[in-house]
Homo-oligomer: A and B are copies of this chain.
Amino acid sequence: MSKPLSGRKPSAKREAILDAAQVVFLDVGYAAASMDGVAARAGVSKATIYAHFTSKDQLFSAVIQRRCERSEAFQSIDSQGDVRAVLTGVARRLMTLLLSPEALAMYRLVVAESLRQPDLARAFYDSGPAAGKAQIAAIMADLADRGELVLDDPWVAADQFIGLLRTDLFMRTLLGLPLRDGQTLDGVTVGAVDVILRAFGPKR
């Protein structure tokens, strides 16, 4: 937490521990995860874990931090082309990311522990929601520059676009509930893009 983890410490065992811990935490949650379980999966003794990490909390923190550093969101999105096509592409990528089992598991974990571990909440927010929003805002600003959208504030618009995508479908998936009939990723995507275009499209 206080030590910058970017020092030279690839130490195979350390990585093995982190890999194992990630699987266990994301799988069963923080509370149900046991150090014994992590040790077993990593093929390492519990004492070795404590040689590398000071506590379960800190191990958990390291796992999330590492995953946050590695997250790349959407690197290659070109904002050229038809507005609708660009927005649809962005939306589809974001939806796929949001609904991926790993992202959902991370979200469940971090939300639950956010009050107990504020540093973690911050790291997650910065590398997840904030990073994604920044990229989407940049793309929307581009579209606005080209006159394809009329925006007061690209950041606000990006925020709203994301909100339009994180709707009931996301909530149900997050809670592990079955989807409604006809509730599809594409439906939500198209609906969100429609609203954005009607609200911020140039033809008004």
Residue positions of A touching B, CB distance < 8 A: 29-32, 107-116, 118, 121-122, 124-125, 129, 133, 156, 159-160, 162-168, 171-172, 174-177, 191-192, 194-195, 198-200, 204
Contact = CB atoms under 8 A, between A and B. Distances in A.
* Oligomer copy total: 2
A183 to B, nearest CB: 10
Q: Would you list the 9 A-B pairs with minimal beta carbon distance, nearest first? A: A31-B31, A112-B112, A121-B175, A198-B199, A163-B163, A163-B167, A195-B199, A159-B167, A114-B175
B129 A168 contact: yes
Contacts of A168: 129, 133, 159, 162
A156 B125 contact: no
A115 B177 CA distance: 9
Contact of A114 (B108, B195, B198): B108
Given A30-B31, A174-B114, A162 B156 contact: no
Nearest to A165: B163
Contact of A167 (B121, B162, B204): B162
Contacts of A194: 199
A111 B195 contact: no
Given A30-B31, A195-B199, A199-B198, A125 B160 contact: no
Contacts of A113: 29
17 contacts: A29-B112, A30-B112, A108-B111, A108-B115, A111-B111, A111-B112, A111-B175, A112-B112, A118-B177, A122-B175, A125-B172, A125-B177, A160-B164, A160-B167, A160-B195, A162-B168, A163-B163
B122 A177 contact: yes
